[in-house]
Structure 1
């Protein structure tokens, strides 16, 4: 990323708050009789990168969706920069406008060009003039080597390129918080690296990120903290180097034995 592109999260409406950017207390979510989140307590500080790890079905994606208010919670409190955004009276669209989120599948609009995909939220949600939105989008796309594809449509892009565009779309509005939900899961192995390099550059620039990932080596190298979820519970929450070098919990050690690449 170029320095002039501006670090996401630097200019959010509530970024003057001195507490955590994100705070969860006692968050629970059930699907019928199945309890998916069993009382989650988590704080994320400004400019911190937190990796959520755990086996499929552990609650990582559900947790991200509750933060983005696309999944309701059954109990607990979620605060964004000090504001209780889990209050049912809160305007969910206004909250989502402060958060960038990228899913496993790129979710680009196929009938819109890359440039229009990236500028859509800036223009329609944040009411940025088209010229300013396009100037920022072109700068961001150029900084990741996709400037020449700004007028192309998504079907002309590789999976890695589409996912990088989806991430640029998420940061174009300078969100206070960036949520990444297994953003490499749908990619061919040879395309994973280019997406992870973009996430690494965002982390280096001080973006506040919560990312669910199965890329253990990447989490170890990029995250400030790693949070291990198992069956809807946080089993361990530790600085990345401690989490991988000296995990405290037996369940964490068992997970790492299964999922950490032998050469890592």
Structure 2
């Protein structure tokens, strides 16, 4: 079912999977306010609808996203930039906070804030020969969209600063070695395997997956004792779910579980 709200973002719902395609191919899917606003609306829909279990975020044309729209940046006032980055920040937070897995499917280039948007997702599936670049220094900008946060936690401060300072492309093989991506897939199979992966996740225990996402995200800024207590409280909620009861019954009956997300 096609539910896209404007030409800058194509949204389709196919069973339990919502697909969001950044759609400004003539500018390598550089962000526009319309695109970011549509993405926020799509994420809210996914959060509100129980039958949507997973979200795929990808780009049309030759790339995932070039990030900020450099061609129009010199026409924007400082307030315009402040407001635009604020909208991007809201979208990043929505990706992190939605209690469903969000999978970035990256091909071509993911550059600048486009890379950071992918890093906000829960998993990154990358096509062969794609490249990642923190391109902000090339145009005299600091990182936005959470790059300073995500890169520091993934790679440590020294490597993060090297990538930001030098703005050199990272080959996908290196990104896989460093843990920036989960899988590298032949480009011809990327879309199909991404959908299959999302469907596979959608068959899992939805409430438990949402809780695990929340706990892992909180662990980035919490002490061990705090996370242990949060896990303890979460488990008392999980044992009341239908998915837990189904998992136990399936185990006892020696069959695969059939989860409903309830």
TM-score, normalising length: structure 1: 0.28
> Which has a greater percent of helix?
2
Specify which structure has the bigger relative contact order, considering alpha-carbon pairs within 8 angstroms and separated by 6 or more residues.
1
> Which has a greater percent of strand?
1
TM-score, normalising length: structure 2: 0.28
